[in-house]
């Protein structure tokens, strides 16, 4: 019944909303060193003060939580049925901006450009305007709604740790810090490191390995140095491995030493099938060239069996898992290092909701068998049922204003709300809209931000009426 009124409210407030976003974009709110009363530095402090005075001006009840976060509530009550979690901190601007200066918001062809326009200042203001619309259109609610302005999403999320040490989560929480429609499942995050001292002796042996750099990135480059080989002795094996793996391999002779460079295609660890892993191709090559037997060559043999090139769902390692709602597990070997003595291998896994810490037992056991120690870290999957009233209501609000069919979806990365009771990521970009988040020329589509505001207003009404 309020559909047209809400739509008109946003059409009428377009310019005002954009000028509020510009005010926040103008503040360089990267996390910097803490100062007295400013736990995340001065820029973040300024952005929070600006957002809170904006909220006050629009008639909301604000509270500053010692500059860790700030909140703005529709009613003067600590109880709230719904919380909207946004964040005001940004990643560094970086180089390569062509459309505008990173802290000067500019409108070009239906988009606004500037650091934070998409992540997450634009969506934050859209959510604030959704609450404004409810208030100014005098749409009656029986329950309270609150917006939480976070200040440390991009670094360590210390802001919400502080906040939830002072207050309980709301009954329902959404965070417009991703895509529409609704992300109701975030896979579990697992990080495993195998390490130990391994001998690499014999005439034909590995001297060093340096393959991959970041534990959450499928590596695109792997280096190794071997001795006891001439390039022509292994050329045909190299060609075979290039053929099987789709990588390119370069050999460089350096006296007695042969340097190997394997080039694949990097990808995010949550979507390893989009990359071509240089490390698993290197294992394949080292396995085939007939190294003299040593502790290291044994480890290479075992690792290449556990992580064969192209196997991105843990089948060979014995940890394959999948379920209808969250899809398949991903497993990706992302780092290998060897300096002649110390060996280290790191893999990343994104685990579906059916999996637990124990699901990784096969890999842990195998590592123990080859004499490697194991270190790991596990963040359990996050899940809000897609048939819950909450998720169904958000989808309905999305469908009402976007005209698209909406469906809850799973993702491999963790968002701001991971681990918070009954919390989902909801908006504020449409699927397939490239906003260059964290890159140069970050932007947001103005019509999508306005539509997000309408969707949030409708969701607030439906969930709090």
Catalytic residues: 89, 153
Task: List the Cα angle 295/298/302 in 5-degree steps.
Answer: 140
User: How many whole angstroms separate alpha carbon 381 and alpha carbon 90?
Assistant: 26
> What is the per-residue binding string for Zn ion in 406-445, x denoting contact by CB under 5 A?
----------------------------------------
- 130/370 with CB nearer Zn ion: 130
Tell whether residue 177 is a contact of Zn ion (CB under 5 A): yes
Question: Which residues in 93-152 contact Zn ion (CB under 5 A)?
Answer: 119-120
* Binding track, positions 34-53, relative to Zn ion; x by CB under 5 A: --------------------
CB of 172 to Zn ion, least distance (A): 20
DSSP string, 88-104: --B----S---SS-TTS
Asked if 159 is part of the footprint of Zn ion (rule: CB under 5 A), the reply reads: no
How do strand 106-108 and strand 111-113 relate by DSSP bridges? antiparallel
Residue 421 C-beta: closest distance to Zn ion, Å: 20
Element (H, E) at 239: helix 231-245
For the chain, give percent helix, strand, coil, nearest 5: 30, 30, 40
Instruction: Tell me the backbone φ, ψ of residue 21, rounded to 5 degrees.
Output: -65, -45
**Closest approach of Zn ion to the CB of residue 430, in Å:** 16
**Least distance in Å: CB of 153 to Zn ion?**
5
- Vertex 253 angle, CA 252 and 254, to 5°: 115
Of 117 and 330, CB closest to Zn ion: 117
> Shortest CA distance to 51 belongs to which of 67, 74, 34, 35?
67
d(CA 426, CA 412): 16
Interacting stretch for Zn ion, rule CB under 5 A, among 160-168, 173-181, 295-303, 394-402? 173-181
Q: How many residues bind Zn ion (CB under 5 A)?
A: 3
Stretch that binds Zn ion, among 54-62, 160-168, 175-183, 254-262 (CB under 5 A): 175-183
* Cβ count near 103 (within 10 Å): 17
- Whether residue 209 contacts residue 224, with contact meaning beta carbons closer than 8 Å, is answered with yes
Under the binding rule (CB under 5 A), the answer on residue 28 touching Zn ion is: no
Q: In the window 258-287, what residues touch Zn ion (CB under 5 A)?
A: none
Question: Among residues 154 and 279, whose Cβ is nearest to Zn ion?
Answer: 154
CB of 229 to Zn ion, least distance (A): 48
Residues contributing to the site for Zn ion (CB under 5 A): 119-120, 177
């Amino acid at each position: 019944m309020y559909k047209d009124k809400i739509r008109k409210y946003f059409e009428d407030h377009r310019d005002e909303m954009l000028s509020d976003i510009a005010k926040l974009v103008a503040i360089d709110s990267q996390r910097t060193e803490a100062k007295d009363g400013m736990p995340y530095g001065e820029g973040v402090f300024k952005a929070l003060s600006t957002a809170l005075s904006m909220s006050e001006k629009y008639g909301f009840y604000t509270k500053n939580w010692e500059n860790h976060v700030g909140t703005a509530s529709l009613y003067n009550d600590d109880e709230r049925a719904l919380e909207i979690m946004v964040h005001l901190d940004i990643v560094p601007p970086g180089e390569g901006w062509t459309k505008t200066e990173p802290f000067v918001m500019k409108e070009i062809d239906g988009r606004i450009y500037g650091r934070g326009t998409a992540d997450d200042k634009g969506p934050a203001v859209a959510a604030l305007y959704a609450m404004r619309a409810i208030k100014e259109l005098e749409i009656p609610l029986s329950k309270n709604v609150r917006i939480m302005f976070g200040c440390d999403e991009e670094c360590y999320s210390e802001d919400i740790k502080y906040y939830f040490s002072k207050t309980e989560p709301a009954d329902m929480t959404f965070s417009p810090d991703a895509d529409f429609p609704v992300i109701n499942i975030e896979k579990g995050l697992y990080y495993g490191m195998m390490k130990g001292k391994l001998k690499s002796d014999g005439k034909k042996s590995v001297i060093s390995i340096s393959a991959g750099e970041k534990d959450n990135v499928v590596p695109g480059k792997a280096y190794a140095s071997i001795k006891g080989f001439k390039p022509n002795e292994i050329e045909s094996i190299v060609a075979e491995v290039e053929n099987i793996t789709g990588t390119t391999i370069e050999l460089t002779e350096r006296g007695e030493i042969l340097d190997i460079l394997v080039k694949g295609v990097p990808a995010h660890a949550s979507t390893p099938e989009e990359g071509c892993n240089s490390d698993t191709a290197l294992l394949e090559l080292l396995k085939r060239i007939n190294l003299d037997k040593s502790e290291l060559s044994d480890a290479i043999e075992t690792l290449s069996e556990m992580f064969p090139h192209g196997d991105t769902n843990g089948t060979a390692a014995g940890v394959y898992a999948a379920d209808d709602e969250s899809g398949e597990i991903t497993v990706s070997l992302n780092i290998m290092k060897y300096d002649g003595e110390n060996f280290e291998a790191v893999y990343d896994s994104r685990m579906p909701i059916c999996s637990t810490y124990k699901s990784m037992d096969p890999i842990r056991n195998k590592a123990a068998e080859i004499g490697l120690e194991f270190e790991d870290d596990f963040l359990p999957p996050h899940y809000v049922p897609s048939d819950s009233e909450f998720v169904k209501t958000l989808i309905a609000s999305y469908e009402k204003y976007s005209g698209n069919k909406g469906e809850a979806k799973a993702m491999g990365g963790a968002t701001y709300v991971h681990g918070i009771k009954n919390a989902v990521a909801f908006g504020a970009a449409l699927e397939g809209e490239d906003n260059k988040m964290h890159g140069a020329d970050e932007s947001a589509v103005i019509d999508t931000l306005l539509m997000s505001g309408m969707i949030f207003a409708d969701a607030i009404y439906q969930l709090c009426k």
